[in-house]
Amino acid sequence: MKITNHDRLRNALALYFIMGSLNTKRRPSEVLTEAIRGGVTCFQFREKGRGSLVGEEKYTLAEELQFICQKAEVPFIVNDDIDLALAINADGVHIGQEDEPVNLVREKIGSKILGVSVHNSTEANSGLRMGADYFGVGPIYPTQSKDDANQVQGVKIIQELRSKGFTIPIVGIGGITANNGGDVIKAGADGISVISAISLDANPEAAAANLKVSITNY
């Protein structure tokens, strides 16, 4: 699914689910299918951490999840692995500050969606200059899903970026649940991105639907 315009991207980022094989004890394909049924609008394949899949197995899982997204017209974004994203023609990539420089990634992926994790206005300025399409900002709340997460920032980091004039689509990340999702949107985010609130829930469909309610009625 090709998204070239920022407003369409903003809508697509509303409920952004992120998962790799380590984030669930179930089959990732089932979890993703149910999550999409519950209202997920964007998906990121994030195969990271000790024991994560590599090589052929990683590629195969990526294609399986991509196929599910394609059927549902949900954008499929790959975390970090630019070669994989290009090989399977993903809709986009998401990179952190430790990854390849944003401008080099932009050159490699052309018009695909480029998401960048930013933690302050300095990183936001350079991300914007170098071609980011949206920012992932966090961790908003404490998270168990990322070992090397930065210090918790609260929703004030989103308010701060908006007050400094950044109009680029922003998703909050880190510890977001149906209880606090509305606060993230109120602070100025266009969407929420979550791992465990969906991937570890016994009912991913209901979990996604509840998150959707939290960002719609707040």
Token pair of 24 as six digits:
């669930």
For position 204 contacting ligand 3NM by CB under 6 A, the verdict is no
Alpha helices in 50-194 (DSSP H): 55-72, 82-87, 102-109, 121-129, 156-163, 181-186
Binding mask 144-173 for ligand 3NM (x = CB under 6 A): -xx--xx----------------------x
For position 178 contacting ligand 3NM by CB under 6 A, the verdict is no
Q: What is the CA radius of gyration of the chain?
A: 16
**Which residues lie below 8 Å from residue 81, measured CB to CB, with a gap of 6+?**
47, 58, 93
How far apart CA 165 and CA 187 sit, in angstroms, is: 14
For position 24 contacting ligand 3NM by CB under 6 A, the verdict is no
Token pair of 192 as six digits:
């929420």
* Residue keyed to tokens 């990322």: 146
List the one residue from 21, 33, 41, 117 that touches ligand 3NM (CB under 6 A): 117
For position 210 contacting ligand 3NM by CB under 6 A, the verdict is no
* 143 labeled binding residue: yes
Give the interface segment with ligand 3NM, choosing from 35-43, 66-74, 124-132, 191-199 (CB under 6 A).
Answer: 191-199
Closer to ligand 3NM by Cβ: residue 2 or 85: 85
Supply the DSSP string of 2-15, one letter for each residue: ---SHHHHHHHTSE
What residue ranges bind ligand 3NM (CB under 6 A)?
Answer: 18, 117, 136, 138-139, 143, 145-146, 149-150, 173-176, 194-197
